[in-house]
Structure 1
């Protein structure tokens, strides 16, 4: 993704760069010129030429689920405002939205619109992140500012040498190094924070600290020291970032939400540059009108934490991130992203009292057993007999039951993780290396169930040619077509599955039909399929889902009407 997006961006094709980074474009630049003038359109196009969609994706908020990360759903990230300064509150706004559902495709949508701008600008909750003053996170002209914004100095980032090598513990400051060395000062303050010396850490950062627990009627009790010690705050940068936001938003109070019982309240001791920043804990229900600090402004840079701990090599970071943080790092020519898949290594299987070496080849297992013996074991399994050792691996791989060797579980996890992140080339590379495409994950999903997360044009014919079952159901009883309709699969994918022979008359164990799920998910783009299901399969499914779909549609209409009249 990074390599392709970079090549298109450097060639001046910002739209192709977005496509490579799986960012859909929801506007036409020519319409901006027609509606807001040539100067505004020129400013927009200038930003788009320097827009780095893969870098934006790299920095977006994520959460950990099942041992790997996904984009936080339902977020809007504001990037830039356009028009004369006096007109900007009503001018076009460039922004990105993350997927609406965590299970769906990890695609982003880039918008440039006027409608709803006031809602975004006035939002105080966590769903809108204002990055208009954080261009280093998405604009190629400003990426060098990342080192300063994370607490680094002119020549290096905190906790690392200029080439990205982590500093040993004995190389870190043991006393306040003073303000002349920003990186060392960041290290000093961060270590105080990590060691639980909260008052000293906040004081060194010039921030007053109130450690009294928040006054709340809730049963939930908060230990201020534990909460603050466990928060990855970028303390040395908190004051300058706060002042930047305060000037932009015209506010003197901001909050950092932490849990159900408390948020960190930041406010100035007095208005103006003479005021010092103060931090305290407050119950979230008393801060409903206090705007949130975007995570990118208050959190330590995760990339630096990973490099510092040795979990990620500097060269494995996004090239623009690595170049900004580590000015002496030798980077290979051309953009390079995370590593591609390695050819699956052979693995050992305990079979009949011996260790056998088994490997993937041509979509199947190569094992040290004669073909006649393998046919006999397959016949035994077909008749319901028990198979063990090497012969038990294949059915366990192609089902959600049975035990897989540890190495094979890791290979399966890597395959589905690449699918979840839209890495179609990586999935195809693993299939080219001989991996069996009939794999199922722990939830019983096949590669066909994961097509809504990928660019399916090349992968769908490949797995169908291998004999994949279009009617295979996962543990929830849902077919690949049902999953695509329910979890945000594109219309082209749905049409391709139907053209390949997928049944439109399937019903999940709860009695929900495709027509029901299309209506409940408000998939207007699949109205053709909903109508076809109702025509060809009248009365299909449980009636209660039809009633629920009608209620959902009514609520949507009422919400829309209220928003229109507000």
Structure 2
């Protein structure tokens, strides 16, 4: 084979592959850093090991919505006993780590995909009336999860939520099965592209031709490398999966291009389908290729999965047929029946983001969740510097170099105040006077202006500000408090004019709201949409407790703003549009204020 035909491993720090492009890699790198902070992992593990599964759920931001005694009465003691045994081994922080996230075409904020009901275990298959489920938030306004027990209707449209069956994927939540992650993603004694200790394989250690099924790890590497280069047809051949394209339903789109952009792990498909069959989960599946690519035109393209025992069928009986499905709206308009196939959950078919981030040099193995690290790299020793394993904790504000009137100066935040290390007090007063009279502030003194507005500022300072907002959005109350304690300034605004008060519904408002108000944050500050923190709390589904706390703190209730649908509405109209029946108290207060004003 010529050098040109040999797929190569990307250099550290570059994109791992075309499917895992720069945008997707950045999104998952932020997710791994902020979505499941180290304190959450450590506290949840401590409570779980102490036998306190409810405490572990509380530490991981999971609300428990059932009672074991009630389960025993309704479903019998045998099911209640099996459920309790599973709960003792539930790692809710590990589950949060693996939950589906909004892909780049939907959001850049790395939020959990909303409105999902995910079955973790079914105790009465195939009836599915006694199941353990995790329910994701209604929207992106908060990241708390709900653990439920009850019936589901997986694969139907009986509810407004998408219901997914993960009961054959216990490695993503059950510590007794966490070690299976390696085998589920093509590993054996090591993970693809890595040695057992987590060090990357050298390019000369990677396969240069199809190694065949007797070496599954190198076969997984070979298939992945072919996919990385866009040679998806060769990748299908190597995976022994037949590929067909429904010419009648391709709609002028290059469907191979959709596959090149997808995160489908072909080497996983056959073993995962066999595992599902052994668990009694047999349906007419399709892989929702379009949901995982960034091109809107490909949104409804799917790959129908066909399996047969016919030995003459290409691909040993496994075939994917690519075509475009009608959208639900199109089916309703044309009076067509529902789709005959159901989506195969991506926990069974997509690439593991952790391995892709490691290949791209965006993470180290020690940045991973400890259970993920142990599963993927069983021979890896503890870090030599003694630091804990897991996503890094926030640090103090760094000293940043800024170009100021032709020379490099140092600035940093200390105690929430910007310090310009290379300017005298007289120079600072002169710049303040210049700003007061409408003059242009530059250099060191423009940093503060950029921090509290949507203007430009040094990259290192943007990273610092972004960390503060990412921790707020992911509900990391201890992380935000630590950043403020270390001296970070709470008056930051992001690129859309959002303040920390606009995100108060994401965190424990009882701890952070008094802190932010004491720091002088404005309850009536508007973002670029013209929304105040109270308006946004109502619009984005913050709890009634958060809304009440903002009102009690003095937030004005005569505000208005643009929302879809509805246009420019006041707060009372917004409550009706969002169907916030939990906010009737606010409507009563608004009405009373209106009567007093008249």
Given the two structures, how large is their TM-score scaled by the length of structure 2?
A: 0.82
Give the corresponding residue for 1:266: 305
SS of the residue 2:575 aligns to: helix
Determine the C-alpha separation between the residues in 1 that align with 2:382 and 2:161.
36
Note closer, same or farther for the CA distance 1:522–1:188 as it changes in structure 2 (3 Å cut). same
Determine the C-alpha separation between the residues in 2 that align with 1:272 and 1:44.
41
After TM superposition, the structure 1 = structure 2 runs for residues 7-18 of structure 1, keeping only pairs within 5 Å, are 7-18=46-57
Give the corresponding residue for 1:534: 591
Indicate the larger mover: 251-260 or 490-499: 251-260
Report the aligned-residue RMSD: 2.7
Is 1:215 the counterpart of 2:248 in the alignment? yes
SS of the residue 1:71 aligns to: coil
How far the C-alpha of 1:412 sits from its partner, in A, is 1.2
How far the C-alpha of 1:335 sits from its partner, in A, is 7.0
Structure number with greater CO (CA < 8 Å, separation at least 6) is 2
Determine the C-alpha separation between the residues in 1 that align with 2:177 and 2:408.
56
After TM superposition, the structure 1 = structure 2 runs for residues 179-198 of structure 1, keeping only pairs within 5 Å, are 179-198=213-232
Determine the C-alpha separation between the residues in 2 that align with 1:308 and 1:396.
35
Give the corresponding residue for 2:320: 279
Determine the C-alpha separation between the residues in 2 that align with 1:537 and 1:436.
37
Indicate the larger mover: 490-499 or 412-421: 490-499
Determine the C-alpha separation between the residues in 2 that align with 1:268 and 1:245.
13
Give the corresponding residue for 2:429: 375
Give the corresponding residue for 2:402: 349
Note closer, same or farther for the CA distance 1:121–1:468 as it changes in structure 2 (3 Å cut). same
Unaligned runs of 5+ in 2: 1-39, 291-297, 327-335
Determine the C-alpha separation between the residues in 2 that align with 1:232 and 1:443.
30
Determine the C-alpha separation between the residues in 2 that align with 1:355 and 1:186.
50
2:64 to 18, 25, 29: 25
Whether the 8 Å CA contact 1:149–1:237 is kept in 2: the answer is yes
Give the corresponding residue for 1:135: 170
Cα deviation digits, residues 512-551 of structure 1 (max 9, x gap): 22222222222222221122212222599xxxxxxxxxxx
Cα deviation digits, residues 100-135 of structure 1 (max 9, x gap): 223x11222211123xx2x33546999322101110
Give the corresponding residue for 1:91: 129
Give the corresponding residue for 2:578: 521
SS of the residue 2:248 aligns to: coil
How far the C-alpha of 1:213 sits from its partner, in A, is 4.8
How far the C-alpha of 1:381 sits from its partner, in A, is 2.9
Is 1:174 the counterpart of 2:212 in the alignment? no
Whether the 8 Å CA contact 2:284–2:340 is kept in 1: the answer is no
Is 1:107 the counterpart of 2:144 in the alignment? yes
How far the C-alpha of 1:67 sits from its partner, in A, is 5.0
Give the corresponding residue for 2:77: 38
Whether the 8 Å CA contact 1:206–1:276 is kept in 2: the answer is no
Cα deviation digits, residues 68-104 of structure 1 (max 9, x gap): 5222222221111224x5xx515322111222223x1
2:281 to 249, 255, 260: 249
Determine the C-alpha separation between the residues in 2 that align with 1:289 and 1:82.
26
Determine the C-alpha separation between the residues in 2 that align with 1:9 and 1:176.
44
SS of the residue 1:427 aligns to: helix
Indicate the larger mover: 419-428 or 286-295: 286-295
Cα deviation digits, residues 134-159 of structure 1 (max 9, x gap): 10111111111111111111x11111
Give the corresponding residue for 2:271: 240
Give the corresponding residue for 2:551: 498
Give the corresponding residue for 2:367: 316
Whether the 8 Å CA contact 1:504–1:514 is kept in 2: the answer is yes
Determine the C-alpha separation between the residues in 2 that align with 1:441 and 1:330.
39
Cα deviation digits, residues 305-349 of structure 1 (max 9, x gap): 111222211111111111111110124699743111222211223
How far the C-alpha of 1:479 sits from its partner, in A, is 1.4
1:294 to 345, 357, 364: 345
Note closer, same or farther for the CA distance 1:375–1:467 as it changes in structure 2 (3 Å cut). same
Determine the C-alpha separation between the residues in 1 that align with 2:117 and 2:589.
35
After TM superposition, the structure 1 = structure 2 runs for residues 192-207 of structure 1, keeping only pairs within 5 Å, are 192-207=226-241
Cα deviation digits, residues 445-464 of structure 1 (max 9, x gap): 11111111112222212111
Give the corresponding residue for 1:454: 507
SS of the residue 2:139 aligns to: coil
Indicate the larger mover: 135-144 or 223-232: 223-232
Is 1:389 the counterpart of 2:443 in the alignment? yes
Determine the C-alpha separation between the residues in 2 that align with 1:260 and 1:140.
35
Is 1:120 the counterpart of 2:154 in the alignment? yes
Whether the 8 Å CA contact 2:304–2:322 is kept in 1: the answer is yes
Determine the C-alpha separation between the residues in 2 that align with 1:472 and 1:478.
8
Unaligned runs of 5+ in 1: 541-566
Determine the C-alpha separation between the residues in 2 that align with 1:378 and 1:66.
38
Note closer, same or farther for the CA distance 1:386–1:158 as it changes in structure 2 (3 Å cut). closer
Whether the 8 Å CA contact 1:515–1:531 is kept in 2: the answer is no
Question: How many residues get paired?
Answer: 528
Indicate the larger mover: 120-129 or 348-357: 120-129
Whether the 8 Å CA contact 1:319–1:335 is kept in 2: the answer is no
Determine the C-alpha separation between the residues in 1 that align with 2:217 and 2:206.
10
Note closer, same or farther for the CA distance 1:30–1:173 as it changes in structure 2 (3 Å cut). same
Determine the C-alpha separation between the residues in 1 that align with 2:207 and 2:463.
40
